Amino acid sequence: MYDDRISKTLITLAVENALLKMGLPELELVTIRLKQDHQCEISDCMKYPEYLRETLLDLFGNSYSDILQSIQETLQKTTMEQPLIDFLIVLDDHS
C-alpha cells in the first residue's frame, strides 16, 4: 500500500517549490498565515487542502492559478496515487 508519509512529503515539496519560484518571502508569508489562521503547516495540507487553497487565494488572488499549475506539474511527475489526486481536486475546486 502507498504510504501516506510519501504523499505528505511530495505535496509539501510541490507546494514549497511552487512558492519558492515566486520567492522566499512568499513561502514565508504562506507559512505564517497557515500557522496564524489554521494552526497548521504546509506539511499538514494533505489532510487540510482547503486551508492551503483559502490561504493562497487570499494572499495571491489571480496568481493562484499559476501556483496551482506549478503544484500540479510537480505532482504529475510522480506516481499520482489517490491521496495526491484528492489533494489536487480540492485545490482545483472552482466553487
Tens of pLDDT along 20-62?
999 999 999 999 999 999 999 999 999 999 999 999 999 999 9
Report whether pLDDT(79) > 80.
Answer: no
Nearest to 15 by CA among 57, 60, 70, 63: 70
Inside any domain, residue 10: yes
User: C-alpha distances in angstroms, 70 versus 2, 3, 39?
Assistant: 23, 23, 25
Inside any domain, residue 95: no
Residue type, position 41, single letter = E
Inside any domain, residue 77: yes
Find the CATH number of the domain harbouring 77.
1.10.1200.200
Report whether pLDDT(83) > 50.
Answer: yes
Q: How many other C-beta atoms lie within 10 A of the C-beta of residue 69?
A: 12
Inside any domain, residue 71: yes
Structural domain range at position 49: 4-89
Inside any domain, residue 11: yes
Global pTM?
A: 0.89
Report whether pLDDT(66) > 50.
Answer: yes
How many domains, the chain? 1
